[in-house]
Structure formats: structure tokens, C-alpha cells
Amino acid sequence: MLHTGGTLGMTGGRPSALRPSPFARTLRERVPELAELADVRLEVFSNLDSSEIQPEAWLQLARVLARRLPEFDGAVVTHGTDTLAYTASALSFLLPGLDRPVVLTGSQRPLKEVRTDARLNLIDAVTSALRGPPEVTVCFDSKLYRGNRTLKAAVADYDAFESPNFPLLGTLGVRANFAKGLPPRPLKLVDRLDPRVFLLKVYPGLDPALPMALLGRMRGLVVEAYGAGNVPVDEAGGRSLRPVFHEARRRGVAVVMVSQAPRNAVDLSLYEGGSAALSEGAIGGGDMTSVAAVTKLMHVLGVHRSLAAIRRAMERAVAGERSSETPSSASDAGEDAGIDSRAHPGGPNRTPRRARRPLPDRTPRSS
């Protein structure tokens, strides 16, 4: 178990602000049941509010997981909810090969509080790390989600996450049922990221001069467009985004289009605005969330240089982040093959491994 911080391990509360606190003793005192489930070894990776988590921390976290995972049946990463979906998505791309589960969880209330959701989330996450599918997932409110398909959907509800375009990978009720998920693959680390990515949400009244002024500071641009990928391109209206796409192409800035609508996929050929973006080299993001598109583009830019290679990589499903039936290249057709989204008990069969070397209970550090 790797602890990064977040509400789960915090102290305080109204009228005081929540703040990070020592976690190891709290875990032992508040969730002794974990010892009945597994031989849990804790490492405090950091002790941060998740709003402070940055891409550099994703790289460090992926490296720790790649180094430690061969010694264990699975991993649980405790994390603040605000950026949990970003970290889960990033890890799915940084660790494109996994043969055992990596499960992220957190809570809406601190572990020390009476009405906390942290205890059950931790118990369910450890269960999922032992029996769930071999990929990066998010376990919250007795549901298991594919990590790169999640969005934080609620601030004050225990059911805080949703997966708009992909079914649950598990439910943990009276019985814990898990889908097969992605097929297991040899553990692989591709620890490269380029965070020079900007997320632009299109809205009525957007001045194209604003994103135009920022193009020189970025290598990638994710555009949250209307509906199926539509944007204003009428020059008479004075706010056409066509010049932004043209200038991005001239500068070698990769542009990825996703939808503001949480469900379904973009189709850039459907309307004039999307078609104009497509003609200027924009890449259709299919049914990826904006979170997955941003983190994947950071990773792809860290690996590839040419726009052609970036396009191929963005259009191909790497870790189940987009559906193969959404508009994309032919190369992604087999990536999601073999996924069985129907729940079944037990999860994939793996030979259990006991921890061979304990993880040290380290003093919290910044990352």
C-alpha cells in the first residue's frame, strides 16, 4: 500500500481546514481488519493534498510501483479524490503492461471520523488488489472502475466517481464480483511525460486570441468541444477557432478533440466545426474523458515527436481508455479484445505471492 495523502489520512474539519496527518498509526488503529485480508505493507510515498499532485509525482509513483509490484499480489494507492482520476489515468499509460491489480482509492471523510467512508473503501480496495483485474482501477463506494475512464462527479456524496462510457469492473456488496478487464501483460514501465498540454473548454464568447496567445507555450492542446466535436468556425461571427487549429498545425502543436458531454464519443466528420478542425489536423479523441485525453497526450508527447506518430498513438487504445468502435485508426481494433464486462466471481486466476520483503514505513515526504 502506497499512501500519497488526501482526505483519507487527514485530521481537522469544520470550522478548521483539513490538513495532512501521520497515516501509519491511524491505519493500524482504525482498520485492523486489513490484517485479516492480506499481509499489507505500507509505504508513505507522500502526504499531500491531492491538489498538489503534479506530473512529476506520477512518474515517481509509477517507478515505485514498477519496482515493488513483482514482490506482491497487487497494490493499493491511497489518494485524495480531487486529482485521483488524473493519477489513475496517468498510471495506466505509464504502466501499459500489468499482470496484477493497481487499485486507487480515497475517501470523502477522514479515516478518524465516525461517519467516514474510508474504512470500507480501504477494505474494498485491498480485496480488489487481491482478486480484481490486472490493470489500474479506482475503487470507491463499493464499485470498481477502470482508472482511465473515471471522473469525479460529486463533492459531498460517498458515491463520488462515475465512468460514463465504460461499465463497472467490479461490485463489492455481500459478494465481491469482478470482470476480467484487460488481459494480463508483462509488467512494463514507460516513464516519460511532457506536461506542456493545455485544456481548452469551448464556450459561447470565447475569444480565439486567448488560446492563440498560449500556443507558443504548449506542445499539445486538448479541446473540450460541444457535442460530437463541434466548435465555432463562422468567420463572420468574429470568434472562429479555425485560425487556432491552423496555427497549432503550423507550430507542430498536437490538437485532440473530446466532448463536453460526458457520454458517447466525438465524430469530427459530423458537423462543419468538427470537420474544419479535422481538416487542420485535429485528432478525434473518441469517447475518452478529458482527464484521460490530457494525461495520455502528456505521455504520448513524452514518447513521440512527429505529429503523425502522435496521431497514431492517440487514436490507438493503450489501456482501454477509448472504445475501439469510436472513430479512430484501424490499429486499435484488438486492444480491447477479450474484455468481459460481465461481472463474475473470483476475478483472474493468479498464483498468490507473499511479500518477500517488507516495505518500510517511511517518514512522509514531499513529491
Sequence-distant (6+) residues with CB within 8 A of 233 are: 240, 241, 242, 272, 273, 276
Cα–Cα distance, 144 to 170 (Å, whole number): 5
Q: What is the dihedral of CA 46, 364, 159, 97, to 10 degrees?
A: 40
Check residue 359 and report its DSSP letter: P
Rg (Cα) of the chain, in Å, rounded?
21
Sequence-distant (6+) residues with CB within 8 A of 51 are: 80, 82, 83
- Identify whether the C-beta of residue 66 lies closer than 8 Å to the C-beta of residue 189: yes
Please report the beta strands in 66-120, taking only residues with DSSP state E, as ranges in sequence order: 75-78, 102-105
The grid coordinates listed for 66 are: 514498477
Give whole-number Cα distances, 249 to 5, 254, 303, in Å: 40, 7, 19
Q: What is the DSSP string of 169-208?
A: SEEESSSEEE---SPP---B--------EEEEE--TT--T
Helix (H) or strand (E) holding 30: helix 24-30
Q: What is the DSSP string of 310-348?
A: HHHHHHS-SSS-S-TTSS--GGGTTTTTT---S-EET-S
Please say if 81 is a catalytic residue. no
How many other β-carbons are positioned within 10 Å of the β-carbon of residue 252?
Answer: 12
Picking from 16, 80, 22, 84, the residue whose alpha carbon sits closest to that of residue 49 is 80
* Residue among 7, 81, 127, 326 flagged as catalytic: 7
Residues classed as catalytic:
7
